[in-house]
Amino acid sequence: MTFDLSLYQLRTFRAVARLGSFTKAARSLGYAQSSVTSHIRALEARVGIQLVHRLPRGVRLTSAGEIFHDYSAKIFHVVDEMTSALNPVG
């Protein structure tokens, strides 16, 4: 199985996980709420599993979403390391 994931979708997922809301994540990222919803739906379709529970007031990560969140943090850690390595200060 291969996942073809976009960093913007992962960034959106991380904001949703951190803020517990599609609306708050949209505000934080400067996106329309419908874009955040679309990003998460596309991500869930790509991985083939539900990552968030949609609740009357916000969202909560599923158990798979928790695992996905942990790995997305590792991905962004590597991206940050790469950025630092390619753009050394001084």
Ordered by start, the domain boundaries in the chain are 7-86
CATH code, residues 7-86: 1.10.10.10
pTM for this one?
Answer: 0.88
Q: Which tens digits make up the pLDDT trace of 67-85?
A: 999 999 999 999 999 988 9
Query: Where does the pLDDT of residue 3 fall: very low under 50, low under 70, confident under 90, or very high at 90 and above?
Result: confident
In whole angstroms, how far apart are CA 75 and each of 6, 14, 81, 89? 11, 11, 10, 22
Above 90 in pLDDT, residue 90? no
> Confidence band (pLDDT; 50, 70, 90) for 1?
low
Q: How far is CA 88 from CA 7, 53, 74, 76, 84, in A?
A: 22, 41, 21, 18, 6
Asked if residue 21 has pLDDT above 60, the reply is yes
Question: What pLDDT, on the 0 to 100 scale, is given for residue 88?
Answer: 73
